[in-house]
Amino acid sequence: FRSSTVHTKPFDDQKPGTSGLRKKVKVFQQKNYTENFVQAILNSLGDELKGSVLVLGGDGRYYVKDAAKLIVKMCAANGVKKVIVGQHGIVSTPAVSNLIRKRNTTGGIILTASHNPGGPDQDFGIKFNTKNGGPAPDSVTTEIFNITVRLDSYNIVPDLDCDIDTLGVNTYTVDGKEFVVEVIDSVADYVSLMKDIFDFSSLRDLLKGTESRDPFRVLINSLNGVTGPYVREIFVNELGAGESSIVNTKPLEDFGGLHPDPNLTYAAELVSALKEGVHDFGAAFDGDGDRNMILGKNAFFVTPSDSLAVLGSHLRHIPYFRIEGVKGFARSMPTAGAIDRVANAVGVDFYEVPTGWKYFGSLMDASRLSLCGEESFGTGSDHIREKDGIWAALAWLQIIACEKKSVEELLISHWKRFGRNFFTRYDYENCNADDCARMMHKLEQTVTSPAYVGTQLSHKNKSYVVKLADNFHYEDPVDGSIAARQGIRLLFEDGSRIIVRLSGTGSSGATVRIYIDSYEKDENLLLGDAQVVLSPLINIALDVTEIKIHTGREAPTVIT
């Protein structure tokens, strides 16, 4: 085979957001659009490109397979030595992270728009992960973007048509050099990683029941995303759960029309099934398998911030942490502060980072962090460098197996010991971008004026005094890199918080996220409903942001 160089014109909108480049499929299908971005990723590798080994896989959404085959042709032409690709182009995000680490590759390319809907008129995305298995840090994504705006050509082997549906090793000669494409079983390595981390025999006993204990009935919903085959192998084949314990396990290009985001709105099917009271535990995962939602019997909802904290205080039950030790805990800035108190009780370091998993990686690489999470249904540990939905569900089950308590009992005893962080998030999706920019600008000006500290904000008979207000600024404690302007924070004297930021994962328009977090330790108030308890603070947040005026929206699209 011979490579050729194709002349192209740069695009000016290929700036990666919170997690890769996300656009409508139609945008990626424009002439040279995908090619340009892939070439920019490859160029960003510099001297490491020639002879490199890359992992390639995606969440099975529409356009994954076309893009995967294209990327193979471009890798061949750019001197990559080997591409390790999942069969049919499918690999979950956590499994890609694992493969990069296990096979010691130069990095990986993940084809996903995560929790965004899929299909010809929906979203697609491309993300680059570095050799630690984690999402490329800001320095790398900035470099990729800088390359895209001056790119004038890309390299491709147009007639190298690799069959990525058949397992095996394909060897080619390209420009006189060997080029290898290894098509792998996407599930096997990940399942063996989970078996190393958890005690599968105790999980099997939990699910199947023993003489002294009824079976613990689980319902796992893959929302037609990438986790289906992983869930089937782990829950049915390994742990012996019945076929009826798993649903929506065939990855579909359009997720069967579902919005593959595991929250109370988009995973309503799981919520209503759990409400029937038959199952003890429910979990759903997003399109690419890195997010999770955990429910207890009767659809008892575990907020991701609480989930992280409960895991944090029970890590001793998980074999992996007994061997590796517990180094530190972290959460993203908007995530409620429940884990902070656990870190204090357990006596490990605690870190608060900006939104996005890429900020956890350097702490893990420096052996300072074991467990972390985000309020957006992301939980994970240093077993890989991505958040991991199935891992989180297994971690919960392992703890339940040891503690012999229900999900709800675990939460209640957690709140009694540590107090409860009530949390809610209001999302206003698909608003006008200019209006939102104006709103953020005005809010920042208001809250950062020197006189603002000490201001009393009230709703009905509740008042909060501003202790600190700023635009969150983060300095990585390991490498000193800076992430500025990561979201507007209003911190109040009683520890309550209002956070406002714009999403960086949308494919068009703007999404405003308002996060509200308030701590309560009075035993009599622990079981309240978050929307009721937080109502004064929510109203204050709607007032200060003037969200209705700026966006014209009466109500949020999604409340978590």
Active site residues: 114
Question: 289: closest CA among 99, 108, 97, 16?
Answer: 97
How many C-beta atoms lie closer than 10 Å to residue 204's C-beta?
15
Give the x-and-dash track for 372-401 against ligand VG1 (CB under 6 A). --x-x-x-----------------------
Least separation in angstroms between CB 324 and ligand VG1: 24
Helical (H) or strand (E) element with 469: strand 462-471
Q: Which residue shows structure tokens 């790398």?
A: 140
Options 81-89, 305-313, 497-505, 545-553: segment touching ligand VG1 (CB under 6 A)? 497-505
Binding mask 325-354 for ligand VG1 (x = CB under 6 A): -------x----------------------
> Which of 149-157, 219-227, 243-251, 498-506 is the region at the interface with ligand VG1 (rule: CB under 6 A)?
498-506
Nearer to Co ion, 290 or 375 (CB): 290
- Quick check: 252 and 224 in contact, CB under 8 A? yes
CB nearer to Co ion: give 291 or 489: 291
CA–CA distance, 180 with 78 (Å, rounded to integer): 13
H-type alpha helices, 258-373: 268-275, 304-312, 319-324, 338-346, 361-365
Sign of CA dihedral 498, 499, 500, 503: negative
Shortest-Cβ-distance residue relative to Co ion: 114
What span, in angstroms and rounded, lies between the C-alpha atoms of 380 and 375? 12
Q: Which is nearer to ligand VG1, 128 or 321 (CB)?
A: 128
**Binding residue (CB under 5 A) for Co ion from 123, 280, 290, 517:** 290
Interacting partner of 517 out of ligand VG1, Co ion, none (Cβ under 5 to 8 A depending on kind):
none
Residue number closest to ligand VG1, CB atom: 114
Token couple for 489: 């924070």
Region of 228-236, 264-272, 286-294, 551-559 interacting with Co ion (CB under 5 A): 286-294
CA distances from 207 to 215, 241, 486 (A): 5, 6, 42
Lookup: tokens for 240: 């012996």
Per-state percent for the chain, helix, strand, coil, to nearest 5: 35, 25, 35
Report the site for Co ion in 199-218 (rule: CB under 5 A).
Answer: none
User: Binding residue for Co ion (CB under 5 A) from 35, 123, 280, 286?
Assistant: 286
Q: Is 551 a binder of ligand VG1 (CB under 6 A)?
A: no
Interface pick for ligand VG1 out of 59, 123, 290, 340 (rule CB under 6 A): 290
Residue ranges in 93-122 that form contacts with Co ion under rule CB under 5 A: 114
User: CB-based contacts of 539: which residues, under 8 Å, 6+ apart?
Assistant: 459
Nearer Cβ to ligand VG1 (67/241): 67
Side-by-side strand order, sheet with 82-90:
21-24, 123-129, 107-111, 53-58, 82-90, 177-184, 168-174
**Per-residue contact track with ligand VG1, 12 to 51, x per CB under 6 A?**
------xx--------------------------------
Which of Co ion, ligand VG1, none has residue 19 at its interface (CB below 5 to 8 Å by kind)? ligand VG1
Which residues bind to ligand VG1, rule: CB under 6 A?
Answer: 18-19, 114-115, 286, 290-291, 332, 355-357, 374, 376, 378, 503-505, 513
